Amino acid sequence: MGKIKSFLKVLTFGGLLGFIGGLLFAPSKGGETREKLKDALDKGKAKFDELKQEFGKKEG
C-alpha cells in the first residue's frame, strides 16, 4: 500500500505543477493569472486533503 500511496502523491504533485506551469505561461493579464493560480492551488489542496483522508481510512 505504501507504493500506491507514494505514487498517487507524486502523480498529484506532478499534475499540479504542470497545471500551474500552464497557467503561468498562458497569455493573460497578471491579475487574471494570479486569480487562476489561487483557484488552482485551492482546488489542488482540497483534492490532496481528500486523497489523504481516503487513504487514511483504507489503512486504518
- Across the chain, mean pLDDT equals 81
Q: What is the pLDDT of residue 59?
A: 59
In the predicted structure, residue 55 carries a pLDDT above the cut 80:
no
> Does residue 14 contact residue 44 with C-beta atoms inside 8 Å?
no
What is the rounded distance in angstroms from the CA atom of residue 16 to the CA atom of residue 39?
12
- Position 58 scores a pLDDT of 64
HSE-up (13 A, CA, CB side) for residue 50: 7
- Cell readout for 11 is 502523480
Band of pLDDT at residue 12, cut at 50, 70 and 90: confident
CB 58 within 8 A of CB 4: no
Indicate the pTM of the whole model.
0.50
**Residue 45: predicted pLDDT:** 87
